[in-house]
Chain A
């Protein structure tokens, strides 16, 4: 074997979290199989069945929904929901698995990477996937003719924000979890109700006034509202700022706690 010792060798110039990001990218590129097809096909199917199919029934009976066709109303909320789903799916089992079962995060912690780098690398990879998926979703919505403003170009950013808002706290949870049992409960009692009740399928005005604040607590509600505003181009600045702040705060708290949780888990 030849060459100077590695620490003297020329370096690639990647910061440590970027190397962790690259690891996730490689694993994905080597094992993605169906998911890219899914990322393109599933939006089509959903918009076709719910937007066009159910939309036909809605148009027949009720007409416009919140001043929009049902397809226009529904499409952005499906994008936000998909981002939530991705932010959740990528953050729970895969992270606990990499810590507990295959222990690949421990392997990374034995290299120059710090536990914080592992956390940030993972989160940035979730963001990357969310952006890519949302770009595809936006294009599909465009094909269905449900984009009505140049602001729709910001839809991928909305998807990325929603995914990070969920992923950051959830990776933190997975980094602390001893078993995956409670993860299913999270899906049943958090993602499913949010998917159903965050003004995703019908306007928040369908709820009695007393219940509306409850709906508006849900993080997904803010993601759906942002996405709908972006697709239609109709929004109030104050409302947008509020929605963005809620999601950004979730992400920020998740990052602060998650870096700490990952260190505690990988180092001791």
Chain B
């Protein structure tokens, strides 16, 4: 059972939300399965074409293929997008369109359970997707060392952190049109977090700015792990993601309480 893979966070009642989501999704199993294919498609595409065009890059003194350079960045991005789509799209849908939270709140569950449950569900999905992503990396030869397995917990951390922020932002969404705004924030983060090319390509001041991006920190952390290049900076990167996620969660909890219990 997928629900059993979901780590227990907060109140046990929150797991009801996780299970509820899963019930909703089970009828759409194709959608869940399809989540496995997305990383495969991306890595395959890069492996077929861009690998030849870009050639090898030097990362931390080690020469790696372009695909091996990009893969951890793609993993981080997939965690970000998955968390954002899951929390923002699904939560908004239930909050504003189907009002299913109102009926959930009529039960012994409270607002914190709802918020934690949504994040638990997002984490469960992130666990599955990141695992399949890592398997794809290994199969396609984009993982230079077995340290790549350590990417799994780091990817989960990324997923949870972005789910918290996603949950917070979805309380600000008024209508479908506001999703354009979210894309407008998400896309630059995706494109310029040194996912597709090394941060050294930027002028120094711009590079410093890119360091602020949580996606960059996640990508850099994952890249270090997959290449087996350990350093103390990794602890800082992980800490940055923890703080980022906690800020999002606390904002989300406060805003949720205000919206659902007027």
Contacts and interface: CB of A to CB of B under 8 A. Distances in A.
A61 interface: yes
B106 interface: no
Interface stretch (B29-37, B117-125, B211-219): B29-37
A203 B53 CA distance: 10
A185 B55 CA distance: 33
A15 to B, nearest CB: 28
A246 B41 CA distance: 25
B190 to A, nearest CB: 9
Given A33-B178, A49-B192, A196-B45, A38 B53 contact: no
Interface size band for A: 35 or more
Nearest to B66: A57
Contacts, number: 107
Contact of A37 (B42, B97, B184): B184
A50 to B, nearest CB: 7
Given A53-B197, A184-B28, A188-B37, A62 B181 contact: no
A173 to B, nearest CB: 15
A197 interface: yes
A203 B48 CA distance: 10
Interface SS of chain A: helix, strand, loop or mixed? helix
A31 B175 contact: yes
Interface of B: 27-28, 30-31, 34-35, 37-38, 41-42, 44-45, 48-50, 52-57, 66, 97, 175-178, 180-181, 183-184, 187-188, 191-192, 196-197, 201
Interface of A: 31-35, 37-38, 41-42, 45-46, 48-50, 53-54, 56-58, 60-62, 65, 70, 93, 101, 181-182, 184-185, 188-189, 192-193, 196-197, 201-203, 206-207
